[in-house]
Amino acid sequence: MAKEFNVPPVVFPSSTGNPSVPHQRRAPAAPPFQAPRPATSSSSGGPSNPSIPFMSFDVGSAPASSSFSAPVFASSAGGLLSGGAASFDDEPPLLEELGINTRQIWRKTASILNPFRVNPDLHEDADLSGPFIFLMAFGLFQLLAGKFHFGIILGWVTVAALFLYVVFNMLAGRNGNLDLYRCLSLVGYCMLPMVIFSAMSLFVPHGGVVIFVMGAVFVLWSTRVCTRLLVELASCGDEHRGLIAYACWLVYMLFSLLVIF
C-alpha cells in the first residue's frame, strides 16, 4: 500500500497578487565598476559638468599661464634704447668720473723724480689717488721684506700730515693758507723716494754702511721736494723754510728707519 504525502501548494507572488502574502525584496546588485568618462566640452569651450571642481577644466581649452609677464616699455624708452649706443660714446671714462686723472698723476710723479726741477704748478690740484698708490707700493715692498706695516704706514702718514699742517700754520700765523687735504697730498707724493728706497733695500744687506748711506740720500731727497712744494704752494712759508725742512726731515727719517730696521 502506497504512502501518501501531503505537499502544500506553492504560491508565486505577482504584482496583482494577494497583499496579505508577505513579499520579500531583494537588495539590488551593485553595478559593475565603470571608469570615469572624460568631461566633454560644450560648443562654447566650457566644461560640461561644472559641479565637479576637479573635473571642470579642459586641458587643451586654455593656454598655459605663467606667473611672470613680459615687461612693457613705454614709447620714450624706445628712443633711449635706440640712442643708447651714441650716448655711451659721449660719456667720460670711469677714472675721470671717480676723480682719478692718471695723466696728472704721472706728471706729478715725473716732477718728483727730479728733485732739482720740481714743478709746483702741477700740485695745485691736490688728490689722494697718487699718494695711495705710493703708500700701497711702499707697504708691498715691506711685505716682501717680511714686514707687515700697512697699518703703521697709513697711520704715520696721517699723523705726519697733521703735524706739518699744525707746524706750518703756527709759523705762518693768520696768513697761512695750507689746508690739511693739500698737506696730505704733498706728503704722500713725496713718499716716492721712500718707495724706491724700500725696493732697493731688498737687494742690499741690512746692518751695513751702504743701507744707511742710501737711507740718508733718499731722506734728503724727500725732504727737499716736500719743503719746496710746501713753501711754493702756501704763502708766508719762505721765511720759515729751515723750520719746515726740519719738520719734513723728521717725518721721512721715521719712514727710513722703518725700512732699515
Question: Does residue 76 belong to any structural domain of this protein?
Answer: no
Residue with cell string 699718494:
131
184 pLDDT more than 60: yes
Alpha helices in the chain (DSSP H): 75-82, 84-89, 94-97, 102-113, 129-144, 150-172, 180-189, 192-200, 209-233, 241-260
Give the confidence band of 169 by pLDDT, cuts at 50, 70, 90: confident
45 pLDDT more than 50: no
Question: Does residue 84 belong to any structural domain of this protein?
Answer: no
What's the mean pLDDT in 224-252?
Answer: 90
Domain count along the chain: 1
Q: How large a percentage of the chain has pLDDT more than 70?
A: 64
Question: Does residue 233 belong to any structural domain of this protein?
Answer: yes
User: pLDDT tens across 50-91, in order?
Assistant: 455 545 445 555 455 545 555 554 444 445 454 555 566 677
State the pLDDT at residue 129.
Answer: 92
Interatomic CA distance for residues 162 and 164, integer angstroms: 6
Question: Does residue 243 belong to any structural domain of this protein?
Answer: yes
Q: Give me the helix-helix angle, 192-200 and 241-260, nearest 10°.
A: 30
Question: Does residue 16 belong to any structural domain of this protein?
Answer: no
Question: Does residue 97 belong to any structural domain of this protein?
Answer: no
> Which structural domain range is residue 179 located in?
110-260
State pTM to two decimals.
0.65
Question: Does residue 62 belong to any structural domain of this protein?
Answer: no
Q: Identify the residue with better confidence: 130 or 2.
A: 130
Is residue 236 within 8 A of residue 176, CB to CB? The reply is: yes
Question: Does residue 14 belong to any structural domain of this protein?
Answer: no
State the pLDDT at residue 44.
Answer: 47
